[in-house]
Amino acid sequence: EADIYQTPRYLVIGTGKKITLECSQTMGHDKMYWYQQDPGMELHLIHYSYGVNSTEKGDLSSESTVSRIRTEHFPLTLESARPSHTSQYLCASSETNYYGYTFGSGTRLTVV
Amino acid sequence: AQTVTQSQPEMSVQEAETVTLSCTYDTSENNYYLFWYKQPPSRQMILVIRQEAYKQQNATENRFSVNFQKAAKSFSLKISDSQLGDTAMYFCAFMRYNNNDMRFGAGTRLTVKP
């Protein structure tokens, strides 16, 4: 079944650790996005990609980086996690603007 | 820049009743899309309904319908015959025709009570 997958669902790590949040989609969508979502707050775009080897930063200043080597894979990396990175991270993809986004289930990250 | 405002942080409704969630947005664009997304607790965010700005007719999907007032920049969601499974966060979102960046409101937490 075509879908978008995020792993892990939950992650608790110590300050200073390097982590990678995985996102994969099986729909062949060119456009992929990473959003940060805090409780009771709107989603903030942190990175997006319009295709292989294309990545851009979003509105929210982020210390994370992304890569897009394959169409289906869009991982997000934090080189040195801090407690301020504690949040939920949502990955999404889209085919055309008309259809909106398809979202993954999210990764809830806690940095202690 | 486009902004999306959801003025109701939390709402509740009795099962089988009707509830309306409010959303306003600010844009100078004439052509755009509007969306309502549903995010159940600890589950995937899914699309509920979409509206194209050039269409005057309000979109409807089963028990979900919108009241799109373009001049007022208002896009409310009506849920009829509310069910327990409708309990979720609901996000209003805006996207321009020629831009892939979707803007979200802060969400409304809806609780359907038995």
Give the phi and the psi of residue A98 in degrees, each rounded to 5.
Answer: -60, -35
Of A42, A45, A99, the CB nearest to B105: A42
Query: Does A75 reach chain B within 8 Å, measured CB to CB?
Result: no
Residue at token pair 């609780």 = B111
Q: What's the pLDDT score for residue B1?
A: 63
Structure tokens given for A80: 């040195």
Identify whether the C-beta of residue B49 lies closer than 8 Å to the C-beta of residue B64.
yes
- Strands B60-61, B64-69: parallel, antiparallel or unpaired by DSSP? antiparallel
Judged against a pLDDT cut of 70, whether residue A1 lies above it is answered with no
Q: How confident is the model at residue A59 (pLDDT cuts 50, 70, 90)?
A: confident
Of B4, B33, B101, the CB nearest to A98: B33
Judged against a pLDDT cut of 70, whether residue A2 lies above it is answered with no
Tell me the pLDDT of chain B averaged across its residues. 93
β partners of residue A21: A76
Q: What's the pLDDT score for residue B89?
A: 95
Judged against a pLDDT cut of 90, whether residue B68 lies above it is answered with yes
pLDDT digits (tens, 9 = 90+) for A17-34: 999 999 999 999 999 999
- Cβ neighbours around B19 below 10 Å, total: 20
**What is the spatial distance between Cα B34 and Cα B49, in angstroms, rounded to a whole number?**
9
Calculate how close chain A gets to B16, using CA atoms only, in Å: 26
Percent of the residues in chain B that have a pLDDT greater than 70, as a whole number: 98
C-alpha torsion angle, residues A82, A87, A88, A90 (rounded to 10): -60
Residue at token pair 């200043």 = A61
Query: Does A94 reach chain B within 8 Å, measured CB to CB?
Result: yes
Burial of B108 (0-12, 13-18, 19+ CB in 10 A): buried
Calculate how close chain A gets to B7, using CA atoms only, in Å: 12
**What is the spatial distance between Cα B86 and Cα A112, in angstroms, rounded to a whole number?**
34
Cross-chain residue pair B104–A42, CB shorter than 8 Å? yes
- Nearest-Cα residue of chain B relative to residue A9: B42
**What is the spatial distance between Cα A43 and Cα B106, in angstroms, rounded to a whole number?**
7
Of A94, A100, A103, the CB nearest to B44: A103
Cross-chain residue pair B93–A94, CB shorter than 8 Å? no
Query: Does A74 reach chain B within 8 Å, measured CB to CB?
Result: no
Identify whether the C-beta of residue A66 lies closer than 8 Å to the C-beta of residue A72.
no
Q: How far is CA A78 from the centre of its chain?
A: 11
Q: How confident is the model at residue A95 (pLDDT cuts 50, 70, 90)?
A: confident
pLDDT digits (tens, 9 = 90+) for A69-87: 999 999 999 999 999 999 9
Chain A residues with CB under 8 Å of B4 CB are 42
